Structure 1
Amino acid sequence: MSTTLITNIGELTTNVGSPEGDRFGTLHDAAVLIDGGRIAWVGSADAAPVAAPDAHRIIDAGGRAVIPGFVDSHSHLVFGGDRAAEFEARMAGQKYAAGGIRSTVAATRAASDDELRERLRGFMREMLAQGTTTVEIKSGYGLSVTDEERLVTLAAEVTPEVTFLGAHVVPAEYADRADEYVDLVTGPMLDACAPHAKWIDVFCETGAFSVEQSRRVLEAGVAKGLTPRVHASQLGPGDGVRLAVELSAASIDHGTYLTDHDIEALAASDTVLTLLPGVEFSTRQPYPDARRLIDAGVTVALACDTNPGSSFTSSMPFCIAIAVRDMGMTPAEAVWAATAGGALALRRDDVGLIAVGARADLVLLSAPTRIHLAYRPGVPLVDQVWKDGVAVLAAPGATSGTENHGSLAR
């Protein structure tokens, strides 16, 4: 099997902590050897291994930065329509509320499988172009047995990280009958969707589902072999964090409004707090204080929450820039949260880092350091992307590296 050596890397972010205390695993003048779809070697460019006889590719990074592929652990990519008018109204002062989801439900139900599939694959290409190599996708815009099943089925065509979110909101046909809808979610809908999903999620929030209803949903999912995730504390304080920690949820997502008790509980748990900066940008809610969370010992991830209502962005670099500018994170912390943090939120140890045995998911930036992801917001700095060792993206006219189809040499 052929190998690829990426060498002359000016700054390599491995996310493998060092004895010297650099938890970001930063190397300079580095190289990475890819064998098949995995990382075979990482170290100084001067010490790169001699090529095997069948090796055939060298990539010269030209002194630029390489980071792990982004791991987006929270997205809603399967939907119909859009809600641009709702965004415009918010920018004019209207408050965001969970109920707007129902308009997307109507558009999604009306869309064909092929229409949804084409759009989904378009979003996946969009994410890949911005360095995202691992994506979690939720259902939640069907809210009927048939439609939720087709959404998780479509999501499973493009990622193993599929989340059943039938408990997104109560659909219009169940207005004032929320408990009956929970019966549907935890019964026939879960039966239909669980075979296609890995995770179970619920929107535990005013205007969506109560703590008691959320518990029913999550416990039913666990009984079917799914692992909990929780949307909570987006619109105001609540008991969602307590529930998530109690049920050993992989992550609680949003966390815009957290109490001191919430933070203490998260810091003492294995539950990751996934922050979604695009939501606060789009809704004009206050940004979470990531500095406070990190200093308290909470494990923080960053994700885009790509959806048509509250965060219609698929750009992890954009979210990193916001996290640095408005949430108190350093550039290194933000990149870690968007890679290793996302991997922890998905309970993955094979992505989000550059280490021997990990999947060869890497991003070459057209910049000398990861700092530039926040320093140059809005600029397309993702130059080349490798997914499972395969070069899946090279920017048109890219000049960041050279490729030599010869043997690997020191």
Structure 2
Amino acid sequence: MSTTAITHIGSLVTNDPALGEGPLGLVRDAAVVFGDDGTIAWVGPAAQAPAADAGFDAQGRAVIPGFVDSHSHLVFAGDRTAEFNARMSGHSYSAGGIRTTVAATRAATDAELEANLVRHLDEARRQGTTTFETKSGYGLTVADEARALRIAAAHTEEVTYLGAHIVAPDFADDPAGYVALVTGEMLDACAPHARWIDVFCEKGAFDGDQARAILTAGRAKGLIPRIHANQLSFGPGVQLGVELGAASADHCTHLTDADVDALGQSETVATLLPGAEFSTRAQWPDARRLLDAGATVALSTDCNPGSSYTSSMPFCIALAVRDMRMTPDEALWSATAGGARALRRTDIGTVTPGARADLVLLDAPSHVHLAYRPGVPLVSAVWQKGERVV
């Protein structure tokens, strides 16, 4: 096996306290060696690095794990510029705008949907994202949901069935009929292409009883639950997710003390999506409250054309530090190891021997610059499974 060494790393974030300083396992003047099998072979001080077949000089800059974006909606067509413009002019956000994207997505060809997906993936990769989850949810027919998942599955193994994004326009007068479709014929067609099942548990979308039925049906088909919870208002989503063993409860903006306690005492990850609050001028989630309660927090982009049209994890880190009361260390951990926890993965989100060689070189001496220099393109190089892709 041939090996490559990244040497002269000024500051290496490993996310393994056994390897370095603090919760981030920070190693100064470090090196990383990885093989052509796509995994990391060695991590430690540069002076102790074993010989490698090829080398890359980091020139004193920082290296971090590749970002893990555990919540996105990338199989869609069109955009919602007019809606965003109206919102920034004083109109409020509601779940109903999703129907605009549903119409455009249904009208698009498979090739158009895939080209748009690939464009956004390339955009995210240039900003350091090496693992991403994405969902269906903009088709809302059996055929359109199944094709969205097939398209997504060609590009990631982290595919989520979200037929329960909103009640399909075709079923506006029969929400019970739509729940029956989502848990029946649509689930049968979609389950072979997905790992996860999700539901938007919210006023204007699905209530607690409907969400329970949908997630329970998906779990019976072998899909693992995750849930859009408590984004626009207080509701049952978070506690339902914890009860059903969801891998993550996503958004978590409006939380009671009982919701926070439930997350703090469970393995369900609280995935926060600051791009949504930025793009809707909504209340910010209180990450500090969750962290202090012992909850595991992930950060993700929620990249979608309606409420969070950003693919930039560095931007979300900066927002989390500025407006959600996270420290720079906590935000970076949540955008890497936290995202891995939300996907129940142990092979990503860290720079440790045996992990996947997903690495990001920053044009900065420290990861703190991700929040310290918001909006600046600091990602200088990206390795994905040991292959340099940026």
Measured against aligned partners, the alpha-carbon deviations of 1:64-94 in whole angstroms (never above 9, x if no partner) come to 0000000000000000110010001110111
**Could you say which residue in structure 2 is the equivalent of 1:221?**
218
What's the CA shift for 1:369?
Answer: 0.2
User: 1:117: Cα distance to partner?
Assistant: 0.6
Q: Give 1:351 deviation, angstroms.
A: 0.3
Number of the residue aligned with 1:50? 51
Query: What is the DSSP-based 3-state SS (H/G/I as helix, E as strand, rest coil) of the residue aligned with 2:121?
Result: helix
Letter in 2 for 1:186: T
Report how far residue 293 of structure 1 moved.
Answer: 1.1
Q: Give every structure 1 segment of 4 or more consecutive aligned residues whose post-TM-superposition deviation is greater than 3 Å.
A: 18-21
Matched, 1:310 2:307: yes
Match of 2:338 in 1: 341
Question: Do residues 82 (structure 1) and 79 (structure 2) align?
Answer: yes
1:91-240 to 2 correspondence within 5 Å?
91-240=88-237
What letter matches 1:355 in structure 2? Answer: T
Aligned to 2:261: 264
SS at match of 2:133: strand
SS at match of 1:325: helix
Structure-1 separation of matches of 2:321 and 2:63:
19
Q: What is the deviation of 1:23?
A: 1.3
Alpha-carbon distance in structure 2 between the residues aligned to 1:326 and 1:137: 25
Partner of 2:25: 25
Displacement after TM superposition at 1:35 (Å): 1.0
Deviation per CA, 1:327-355: give whole Å up to 9, x if none: 11111110100000000000000000000
Partner of 1:15: 15
CA distance 1:9–1:20, change in 2 (3 Å): closer
Determine the C-alpha separation between the residues in 1 that align with 2:158 and 2:103. 25
Tell me the percent identity. 65
CA distance in 2, matches of 1:318, 1:235: 22
Q: Is the 8 A contact 2:11 2:61 kept in 1?
A: yes
Q: Aligned partners of 1:126, 1:103: CA distance in 2, in Å?
A: 24
Higher relative contact order (CA 8 A, sep 6+): 1
Distance 1:295 1:232 in 2: 20
- Give 1:338's aligned amino acid: A
Aligned amino acid, residue 32 of structure 2: V
Q: How far did 1:172 drift?
A: 1.1
Further displaced range: 126-135 or 168-177: 168-177
Q: What is the alpha-carbon distance in structure 1 between the residues aligned to residue 288 and residue 278 of structure 2?
A: 18
**Partner SS for 1:385:** strand
Could you tell me whether the CA contact under 8 Å between 2:19 and 2:26 is conserved in 1? no
Once the 2 structures are TM-superposed, how far is the Cα of residue 19 of structure 1 from its aligned partner? 8.6
Q: CA deviation at 1:50?
A: 2.7
1:297 corresponds, among 290, 294, 297, to: 294
Q: Could you tell me which of 321, 326, 330 is aligned with 2:327?
A: 330
- Per-residue CA deviation, residues 238-276 of structure 1 (Å, 9 max, x unaligned), is 011110000000000000101110000000000000000
Tell me the amino acid that sits aligned with residue 188 of structure 2: D
Name the amino acid aligned to 2:78.
G
Distance 1:324 1:303 in 2: 14
What RMSD over aligned residues (CA atoms) do the two structures have, in Å?
0.9
What SS does structure 1 have at the residue aligned with 2:187? helix
Structure 1 regions of 5+ residues with no counterpart?
Answer: 394-410
Give the letter for the 1:388 counterpart: K
Q: Give the distance between the partners of 1:118 and 1:167, measured in 2 at CA.
A: 24
Residue identity matched to 2:320:
A
Report the counterpart of residue 355 of structure 1 in structure 2.
Answer: 352
Does the alignment pair 1:392 with 2:386?
Answer: no
SS of match in other structure, 1:46: helix
Query: Which of the residues 205, 226, 240 maps onto 1:243?
Result: 240
Q: Which amino acid aligns with 1:320?
A: I
User: Distance in 1 between the 2:239 and 2:341 partners?
Assistant: 19
Corresponding position of 2:275: 278
Once the two structures are TM-superposed, the CA of residue 176 in structure 1 deviates from its matched residue by: 2.4
Aligned to 1:39: 40
Give the aligned partner of residue 407 of structure 1: none
SS of match in other structure, 1:165: strand
In structure 2, stretches of 5+ residues that fail to align are none
Q: 1:373-392, aligned counterparts within 5 Å?
A: 373-392=370-389
Q: 1:62 aligns with which of 59, 62, 85?
A: 59
- Verify the 8 A CA contact 2:20 2:27 in the aligned structure 1: no
Per-residue CA deviations over 1:91-111 (Å, capped at 9, x if unaligned) read 011110001001100000000
Instruction: Report the AA paired with residue 324 of structure 2.
Output: M
1:194: how far off? 0.3
Report how far residue 20 of structure 1 moved.
8.1
Q: Which amino acid is the alignment partner of residue 342 of structure 1?
A: G
The C-alpha deviation readout for 1:348-369, integer Å capped at 9, x for no partner, is: 0000000000000000000000
Aligned letter for 2:389?
V
Partner of 1:402: none
SS class of match (2:389): strand
Distance in 2 separating the partners of 1:293 and 1:176: 38
